Amino acid sequence: MDWNIFLQRVYQGLLQIFYFIPKTEIDNFVGSFIDNITYSVIMIGVWLVVFFLIWLSIFILYKTIRLVV
């Protein structure tokens, strides 16, 4: 496998992970067509919420364990 093909596949895989909600689903939810910049901003917001919730659950678990032990 060529190095460029490998990097292209890695890039496509990262994009599939980042954009895990298809653009058509958001279009259907909103009821109109949104552009790519708005879609990217929405996905950044979704990922910020996801990471915050993961951090919050780890933080609460850590504080609970520290309280018990």
End-to-end CA distance of the chain: 52
Tell me the per-residue pLDDT of 12-21, one tens digit each, with 9 for 90 and over: 887 777 778 8
Distance CA 38, CA 44 (A): 10
% of the chain at pLDDT higher than 90: 33
Per-residue model confidence (pLDDT) at position 27: 81
Question: What is the tally of structural domains in the chain?
Answer: 1
Tell me the per-residue pLDDT of 53-66, one tens digit each, with 9 for 90 and over: 999 999 999 999 99
Range of the domain at 18: 3-68
Angle at 16 between CA 14 and CA 20, to 5 degrees: 125
Distance CA 52, CA 64 (A): 18
Q: What is the DSSP letter of 21?
A: S
